Amino acid sequence: MLFRHTRPSSVAGVLARITTFCIVGLESRPVAVEVDVRAGLPAFVIVGLGDLAVREARERVRGALLNSGFEFPQRRIVVNLAPAHLRKNGSGFDLPIACAVLAASGQVPAASVAHRAIYGELSLTGEVRGCRGTLAVAEAARRAGLDGLVVARERALEASLAGDLEIVGVDTLAELGRILDGEQAVPPLPDPRTAERPSRPAPDLADVRGQWTAIRAVQVAAAGGHNLLLRGAPGTGKTMLARRMPGILPPLERDEAIEVTRIHSVAGAELAGGLADERPFRAPHHTISPSGLVGGGAVPAPGEATLAHHGVLFLDELSEFNRHALDALRQPLEDGHVTIIRGQRAARFPTRFMLVAATNPCPCGHAADPKRCRCTESDHARHRRRLSGPLLDRIDVVVDVERPTADALAAPPSADTATVRAAVLAARARQAERLAAAGVMCNAHMDAALVRRLVRLEPGAREQLAHSYDEGAISARAHDRVLRVARTIADLAGRDLVSAGDVIEALNLRGEPVTPVAEAA
């Protein structure tokens, strides 16, 4: 005879399950929050390989439930975060754990959270706070086929960028309880047009006087997305030029803006209006570590190179940066991404940025003026050694910023941001049309195969480039980089073919000695 043992209801546990997500690098991994509430000595246990912030969630959840008018079950509560092998970090598990406890104890309907993801931090008073990576979580929830996502109201606009997902933005746990019970409708999303954005006047190139050569170099670099190095004595306008670079770059495309928003959200930044509306400009201090520059840490996190993705990374006083930090930039500059491996964790971060650097020609900065320079030959040699040769080889445009004359400072501006930006946008439009099938955005992103296939040269341009290479003025890598810059110069002029003059200007902008073929003959 088969005997079936049935435990009394006072002993049987009640299980609730809610979906949330864990940030790993720039991506989100699904995590099932399983809560079992059963009779026994009161206890609140969280298992599933959580970090300190996850373990501390017990006290935040307990305080938030009691201070929001809910009952905290005086039973044995076990919270399992599955899968158990995935390390969980951050405070975004607070809200899903609290909702799972409410569902398991019958204080909210379990069906109301069955097809929604929940993500947010709780205060002891029950306030729901935003967490980093909300956009990445929303995109993962949409891909998982969930119907909606519950987040803090302050992050609702950001989450809505994922599309095709009901976003429930709440201020408090009590408000969320009323929504789940059906007592209150889902509040509408804030209007992005009413979001306060800081108004900052953009710096204009008209402020820079007497630096036409440098302004031309900035224009060429912006038009093709080329890396730029500004060399010159202190006070000649290197930093002024660099900080005006974002104003002449084209606006972010929709997919670029979403990617920038996702990166900065994972890094902990909150953008007014939800969506990034301008290209990043990052200017780290020269004391930054290699991991701070390219990413790293015990839990892999994006560095300044990734935060500058689709924008500008400005390294002022380049020779003062740690040599190891500069060497770490070589792979991100070449590949457009960097992979950080820490223990059993691996994270890939995008690094498609424009490098703009500024440096003095010597420690005192006055190498061009022997009367003012007090540096010895060993000082000059030491200064040159601080600049990584392989890194400099990856910089396409190098320009010497000379000290302007008094007449040049008093003269009207030679260019302004609006005029230069118009030329840059026209050149970028030509590149977009030519490179659309290749899947790249600008000339600087072409690989060697694309350069050979898409850069068409006039006979004189081919001869000039071959002559400079044979003279040893450029390396094999620099050969292709000169072609990319020359292609950009031709785009600015609206020409389909690259001329000998374009190649000569590209070589001059690279700081290489140029002997025209006609003179050599």
430-485: per-residue pLDDT in tens? 999 999 888 888 999 999 899 999 999 999 999 998 888 888 777 787 888 999 99
**Residue at 376: amino acid letter:** T
Burial label for 414, CB within 10 Å (0-12, 13-18, 19+), is middle
Q: 388 and 454: one domain?
A: no
Based on the structure, what is the number of domains in the chain? 3
d(CA 90, CA 57): 10
Q: Is residue 197 part of a domain?
A: no
Q: Is residue 115 located within the same domain as residue 237?
A: no
Does residue 131 share a domain with residue 241?
A: no
Please name the helix (run of DSSP H) or strand (run of DSSP E) that holds residue 335, with its range, or none.
Answer: helix 330-335
Tell me the average confidence (pLDDT) per consecutive run of 10 residues in the chain, 521 residues long. Answer: 36 80 93 94 95 94 97 95 93 97 94 95 97 95 96 94 94 96 90 61 86 93 96 89 94 94 89 81 95 88 95 94 90 91 83 94 77 80 76 89 85 89 96 90 92 92 88 80 95 95 92 64 42
Residue 30 and residue 126 share a domain: yes
Q: Tokens standing for 488?
A: 């950009």
User: What does the alpha-carbon distance between residue 47 and residue 56 come to, in Å, rounded to a whole number?
Assistant: 12
**Alpha-carbon distances of 14 from 9, 106, 429, rounded to whole Å:** 10, 9, 61
Q: Does residue 187 share a domain with residue 211?
A: no
Q: What is the rounded end-to-end Cα distance, in angstroms, of the chain?
A: 109
| Nearest Cα residue to 252 out of 310, 192, 314, 203 | 310
Q: Check residue 373 and give its pLDDT.
A: 84
Q: Where are the alpha helices (DSSP H) in 226-303?
A: 238-243, 245-248, 254-266, 290-294
Note whether 332 and 407 are same-domain residues: yes
Q: Are residues 158 and 236 in the same domain?
A: no
Beta pairing partners, 415 = none
At which of 161, 191, 221 does a domain end?
191
> Within this chain, do residues 170 and 255 fall inside the same structural domain, yes or no?
no
Sole residue written with tokens 């902008």: 509
Residue 506 domain boundaries: 446-520
Rounded to whole angstroms, the Cα distance separating 79 from 260 reads: 34
Q: How many CA within 13 A on the CB side of residue 467?
A: 19
Q: Which amino acid is at 231?
A: R
Tokens linked to 328: 């770490």
- Residue 8 resides in a domain: no
What token pair was written down for 197? 């954005």
Q: What is residue 367's predicted lDDT score, i.e. its pLDDT? A: 74
163 and 124 in one domain? yes
* β 14-24/27-38 pair status: antiparallel
E strand or H helix that includes residue 399: strand 397-401
- In the chain, what are the helix, strand and coil shares in percent, each to the nearest 5? 40, 20, 40
Q: Is residue 102 part of a domain?
A: yes
Q: Verify that 465 and 382 share a domain, yes or no.
A: no
Asked if residue 217 and residue 165 are part of one domain, the reply reads no
